[in-house]
Structure 1
Amino acid sequence: MKCLSDYLWQSLVPLIFFSFIWILYRFIDKENEVEAIKKEHVEMELKFLKSQINPHVLFNNLNTIYSYSLEKPNEVPEMILMLSDNLKHVLYESNSKTISLEKEIQFIDNYMKFQILRTEGTKQVHYKKDIDTYNHQIAPLLLITIIENAFKHSTLYSDVSIFIKVEKDTLECICENDYKKERVSTTDFRIGLQNLEKRLELIYKDDYEFKINKGEKFKVYLKLNLLY
């Protein structure tokens, strides 16, 4: 009986040990497979959400150039150069997970120049920046959604205010515009900001604050931790 017991003990212990190791490796492989699928899904969703932004912004810029080619052709060459920079940003630079804050702000600056020209005589545009350093990275095409929304849904002969501040590794973007309250419930009004919120949740998780205030003016507030 003692020999049988020793034999069983010597046989079962390695078997149990290696069985445990095999199960552990299978579990790790399964976890890695699940994580890879989740990562792929997130990347696909981000690409889809960004694809809904890009054509909208560029379409407005092309409309502006077209109208100036008829009315003020001397200003068109500079506008084409600005559009070229924006195309480069959207088609190539924005494919990265993050880009330099400087490039993103330059993209916003060009867009604002187009909007100021396009809305001349119909809207008062107030654009202000307070940036302590550009030495940061940011997810591309986040701010443009808020700014585009402010112009798209503001009423005629009204004010649009945009303020971007970067201080101590924190970015704040505040957009305010006059709006028609009855349009807030429409799908077209909400879809851009809903897409933005999905992107923020996927990319920044708990390192952002996003608020929409529907008071006398439509106000959107975004706060990002640039060290996420």
Structure 2
Amino acid sequence: MALNKKNIPQWLVHALLWLTISSLLFFPFLSGARTIPNNLLLKLFLAIVIFYLNYYYLVTKLLLKDRLWAYIALSVLLLLGAGLFSSIALHSLPPGGVPRRGGGMRPPREDDFWAFRYSMLTMSTTFVFAVPYIFGTMVKVYTEWQKNEDLRKLVEKEKIQSELNFLKTQINPHFLFNSLNTIYSLSVKKSADTSEAIINLSELMRYMLYEADKKLVPLAKELEYIKSYVALQRLRLANSENVTLKISGEEKGKVIPPLLFISFIENAFKYGTDYNGKSDVKINLSIRNESIQLYVKNIIGSFKAKSNSSGVGLENVKNRLNYLYPDAHVLNIIDDGKTYTVDLTLNLKNHELHNH
């Protein structure tokens, strides 16, 4: 799994860091045309060693493992030790004595040794060692956080995609089962519409095979699918006078995830039909510039399945809506015991599909 997020190359960050520190250290000598002291080069080398010891080991093994106090203690000891080593081993008193406060030079005294060592310890620890050390900690923590965040988003995206594929595979067998029941009922009655129903079903299955596996399909194709499905259901019903499908608005140029509306429509036909095959189903699809509204209303027939299996399709589409349009849809379902109403609005503006 490759992360496609573009980040600043780490080598460039490190190069800029050491270029900045080197410039600050060497500028006073280069600007005055003086020779760079060897102890300054050694100090820079020691700072680099400490930096990468912290960057690759202490931060990784302690700080990022929630061992904060152990990290702080070792960091303080390391910085103080580096400063003390730098002060004692890499520095000596300047030749000619020590500068006087009022000007001129005076011979070094015994107590100048520790005063000079202390001043060098403070300067080395605070600037040469501590500043890049702290900066390195910040860079490493941010880098690891960004890496984990990118990985988390990638895993979440793949998880959502897998769940969406699973949801669609649940929808397809459910639809096929209902459609075959429709054709069976027509064949039992030896209806002349049986062949037309088979053709309709083949067109519907073609759509599901070649379009439903896509993330997005043209809205026009999805509407044709819904029209074919309603036509197939009308053939099954003994009385379909009260079955209406109204589509208004311009679908050109709009796209939508496939099979997003069909579960609501399936549910309407399933529970809006009585024992005599009489149905009352109203389906309105309103297409606007920035939104699509689906309104489905059906009477609740004289029988209703008591098992929970009938709600599988609706739960699936609710989950898909939460995944695909988390902040860009409004779904209202009303069941008053006599009628069942679904009012769904999708906001097509200012949102990004999660499975993109």
Task: Classify the TM-score, shorter chain.
Answer: 0.7 to 0.9
- 1:219 and 2:219 matched: no
Aligned 1:49-60 pairs, distance under 5 A: 49-60=167-178
Aligned residues of 2:237 and 2:279 also touching (Cα < 8 A) = no
1:114 and 2:232 equivalent? yes
Mapped partners of 2:171, 2:215: distance in 1: 16
RMSD of Structure 2 on Structure 1 (CA): 2.5
**Equivalent residue, structure 1, for 2:321:** 200
Q: Is the 8 A contact 1:137 1:226 kept in 2?
A: no
- What displacement does 1:146 show? 0.5
SS at match of 2:258: coil
Matched-pair contact (CA < 8 Å) for 2:193–2:235: no
Comparing 97-106 with 161-170, which one deviates more in the overlay? Answer: 161-170
Q: Which amino acid aligns with 2:340?
A: F
Query: Which structure has greater strand proportion?
Result: 1
Comparing 185-194 and 215-224, the one that deviates more: 185-194
Equivalent-residue separation in structure 1 for 2:279 and 2:299 (angstroms): 6
Instruction: For residue 65 of structure 1, report the CA deviation from its aligned partner.
Output: 3.7
Provide Cα deviations, 1:1-54, integer angstroms capped at 9, x if missing partner: 222233323122222212221111001001111111211221122222222211
Distance 1:179 1:88, change over 3 A: same
Amino acid at match of 1:3: M
1 CA distance for matches of 2:159 and 2:227?
32
Partners of 1:19 and 1:112 in 2: how far apart? 63
Q: Counterpart of 1:64 in structure 2: which amino acid?
A: T
Letter in 2 for 1:136: K
- Distance in 2, matches of 1:181 and 1:110, equals 27
**Greater alpha carbon shift after TM alignment, 104-113 vs 132-141:** 132-141
- For residues 74 and 175 of structure 1, the distance between their equivalents in structure 2, rounded to whole angstroms, comes to 26
Q: Which blocks of at least 5 consecutive residues in structure 2 are unaligned?
A: 1-117, 352-356
* 1:120-159 mapped onto 2 (5 Å cutoff): 120-121=238-239, 124-156=242-274, 157-159=278-280
Query: Which residue of the partner structure matches residue 35 of structure 1?
Result: 153
Tell me what 2:286 maps to: 165
Give 1:94 deviation, angstroms: 1.6
Deviates more, 1:161-170 or 1:64-73: 64-73
Counting matched residue pairs gives: 227
Spell out, residue by residue over 1:103-152, the C-alpha distance to the aligned partner (whole angstroms, 9 max, x if none). Answer: 11111111111111111337732122112233211121111010000011
Give the deviation of 1:191 after TM superposition.
Answer: 3.1
Percent of pairs with identical residues: 33
Structure showing greater Rg: 2
Provide closer, same or farther for how the CA distance between residues 225 and 88 of structure 1 changes in structure 2, counting only shifts above 3 A.
same
Closer, same or farther: CA 108–74 of 1 in aligned 2, 3 Å? closer
Distance 1:74 1:150, change over 3 A: closer
The answer to whether the Cα contact below 8 Å between 1:209 and 1:222 also exists between their aligned partners in 2 is: yes
Question: If the length of structure 2 is used for normalisation, what is the TM-score?
Answer: 0.58
Moved more, 202-211 or 124-133: 124-133
Higher relative contact order, chain-length normalized (CA < 8 Å, sep 6+): 1
Q: Distance in 1 between matches of 2:180 and 2:273?
A: 22
In the superposition, the TM-score normalised over structure 1's length comes to 0.87
- In the alignment, structure 1 segments of 5+ residues that lack a partner are none
Which deviates further from its counterpart, 20-29 or 5-14? 5-14
Deviation at 1:181, TM superposition (A): 8.2
How far residue 67 of structure 1 moved from its aligned partner, in angstroms, is 4.8
